[in-house]
Amino acid sequence: MDSQKLEAAARVACAAADAARAEIGPRFRAVAVETKRDGSPVTEADRAAERAIREVLRTAYPDFAILGEEFGEEAGASASDPGGPRWVVDPIDGTIAFSRGIPLFATLIALLEDGEPVLGLIDCPMLDERYVGFVGGGCLRNGRRTHVSEETDLSRAIISHGDPFCFDRSGMRAAFERLAREVPMLRGYTDGFGHAQVLAGGVGAMVDCDLNPWDAAAAQILVPEAGGRCVTLPARDGAKVCLVIGNPSLVEQLVGWIA
C-alpha cells in the first residue's frame, strides 16, 4: 500500500476503534467476567467490541482477512492470497484490568501485508488517548506526533514490564529477576497501556513477554514510527513472542540481558 492508501486505512481503523468504544464504555465497571479455556478472562464487552470492529473493517475492506482474539480467523473475499492484507485485532488488551474497573486497558488494531505490520492503532478509551501510525507516517497521539523517550541511562529511565508469570511461560524468569534487581524504576505498566506509555515517551522501554500476534502487531509498527526500536524475540514454545520496545539505546542494553 502507498501512503495515501495507508492513510485511508488508518481512518477506517479509527472508525473501528470508535465503534469499539461505543461497546466498551457503557460496560465498564458494569459487566460480568467469564473464564476461557486457556484460563484468561473474557467479558461480553470483549466480544461486542470485536464484533463492532470486524463489521467496520469488513465493510470497508471485504477482501482483507481478519484475525481477532475472540473470534479467530476470518478469510477475506480474496482468500486465495495467503500473503494478502490482514487485520489483527484485540478488542480489549488488558481484560484483567478492565474486568476489575481499572481504566488502563487498550484496543489494538493492526494491518499486516505479507505478514508484516504496516499500520497500527492503540486506543485507550477510558483515557481518551489514541495512538495511530503507519509506515513512513510517524506516530500520532490524538493528532499530534509522539516520540519515544530520549533517556538512555537505565538508572534514570522508567522501565516497564508485563506480568511476571508471562516471563515464566516464556522461559525468561531470570530476565525478570535481573530487571527487578538492577533497574531502580521498574514499573508494571502492562499490556497495550504500557506500549502506549513507551510511544508517549514517559516509559523509556518495556519488556513484554508471552504475546500473541494481536498483542504485538500494533507496537511492532508504532514504536519504530515514534523513533524507537522494537526487537521481537521468540518465546520458549515458539508460538508466542516477547517484545523489547523503546529508546534504541535502552532496548539494546535490555536485549543484551535477556536474549
Domain 3-145 has CATH 3.40.50.300: no
- What are the mean pLDDT values of the chain's consecutive 10-residue runs (259 residues total)? 95 98 96 83 94 98 96 77 88 96 98 97 98 98 98 97 91 92 96 98 97 97 98 81 97 90
CATH 3.40.190.80 location in the chain: 159-258
- Specify the pLDDT at position 178: 95
Answer yes or no: are the C-beta atoms of 238 and 201 closer than 8 Å. no
The CATH number of the domain covering residues in 159-258: 3.40.190.80
pTM of the model: 0.95
- Specify the pLDDT at position 1: 87
- Specify the pLDDT at position 257: 86
- Specify the pLDDT at position 151: 98
Helix axes 44-60, 3-24, angle to 10 degrees: 150
Positive or negative torsion for Cα 170, 201, 186, 94: negative
Answer yes or no: are the C-beta atoms of 103 and 126 closer than 8 Å. yes
CATH 3.30.540.10 location in the chain: 3-145
